[in-house]
Structure 1
Amino acid sequence: MTLRLSTVILPVHRWHEGGRDRWQRAEELGFHAAYTYDHLSWRTFRDGPWFGALPTLTAAATATERMRLGTLVTSPNFRHPVTLAKELMSLDDISGGRITLGIGAGGDGFDATALGQEPWSPKERADHFGEFLPLLDRLLTEEVVSHRGVHYSADEARNIPGCVQSPRLPFAVAATGPRGMKLAARYGQAWVTTGDPRLFETGTPEQSVEAVRGQIGKLGDACAGIGRDAAELDRILLTGFTPEPGRLLESLDAFVDFAGKHQELGVTEIVIHWPIPDSDFAADQAVFEKIATEAVSQLR
């Protein structure tokens, strides 16, 4: 399978001051998809501009024509399945069926307490996600949904006429643990990883490759457990969180080497961050665009 190359554009620019230009340029460069984080703020960007993911994607849908769009990733931290489903159905309609929902259990960052709540433990995050995702699946595939759950409920929630994509827009499920892998196997059209976060600061690139290999193996086991062919799922690697992240975009050769090793593992899509000067995602724009236009052909 030919590896697909995508980008993630953080929502840090006003739409009419460079925001729109980046999404349109991403399509011109030939990226398979352009994603954005679904956060209220994020780490080192917390005290600067940061816009909402779904309004940004709506604007991007009207500014582009072919490229897929999506979140990478949405989580239950500040979302509810009923309202999210309505917004996603609308976004899928506006984009002409080009939306992918990247979704995961969330973390313990700023979003975890922004609504005034105590941060959830890892078990609580998994419990919420385990109820959130099946309900969201129903909301996007059934016209009327009622549900009484421990964490989420719906009372005759209506989503008519449903998604443009059938039976619904695809889910790309971010997961590394056993419960998340089972959800990815059951509900995902794709699986997302950032590698093993424990290796980011002290691990080696070689250890990271082996960690991703192990994760893909666990995904296969989860699929086998429900009788599903793991080959049905795309396998997406969001870069920037593996050891030596800066080296990845230093040159075309460096990226092709990195991408080739992960393609051999079975990764089908690699996502690189659009460069942001003076940030964790600083990179040479010319090199980035060279990678966008030439890397895939070298990996065929």
Structure 2
Amino acid sequence: MEGAAEGNGKRDHGGAQSRGFRVPTVQKLGSLLQLFIPEVVDGRAACTVYRLQDIARHLGWDDGTTHRFLVSLTEIGMLERTGDDRFCIGVLAVQLASVYVAASELRGVVIQKVEELSAATRLTTDVGALQCGAMVVIASRQGSTPLTSRCMLGEKVPLHATAAGKAILSQLADAEVEELCRGKLVALASNTRTTLSSLMWDIGHARESGFVSTLSEYAEGLRSIAIPLPAGCFGIRPAALACSGPATLSHSGWEIAEEELRAFAAHLHSSAT
């Protein structure tokens, strides 16, 4: 019979593993559901549809245990079973996401700004928040420029290679940044920060200016600018709003994006105070 286990340690902003009173069955459900969150690997998103055997092998479970969990999650609508006997995220997850956004008026304001920014600048505009050591895309509107940074909702993106990721890191203490990024500074493009010292320099500048700009760090020729979002926008987790697109976009286009982001940051700050 599965009971509850108690761990030691402290909780952070969603980067390091939370510790405390744990129910093993719930922890297993969490591990299983995490598989369905797409994660960028070498510029490609991981699979989000799995067969039972693939899930069991990845988690190190036997087929019987895996089947019981999958059936239970399918029955409540958190997962769906496809015609070729694969599993993917279900409607309940969409419902919960909608409730999460609607639960805060401020979140609605930020989501609306995503739409406005993308329409005004033609750039891809995203909101990302810290979760499990990466930036998770909460809202996204794809741009209409030749080079775009297309992210799926829920996708996990490396923190160190994007303007939004650095804007998130700028809200954490140095020790938290080091814990999150140590051993994870993978080169994705020619200017990706692959040393902790270079990343910390960027973060220090972001803390001073309240603004982040990157070029050819996530993908060649891709520029990204971002602002941190105030604490509480998306729960306890640090979040950021970013615009991304080709560096060759007209200067006026990038000027509009930067002016809009800085003005929105000032508006959010004044509203919070």
Q: TM bucket by the smaller chain?
A: under 0.3
TM-score, normalising length: structure 2? 0.26
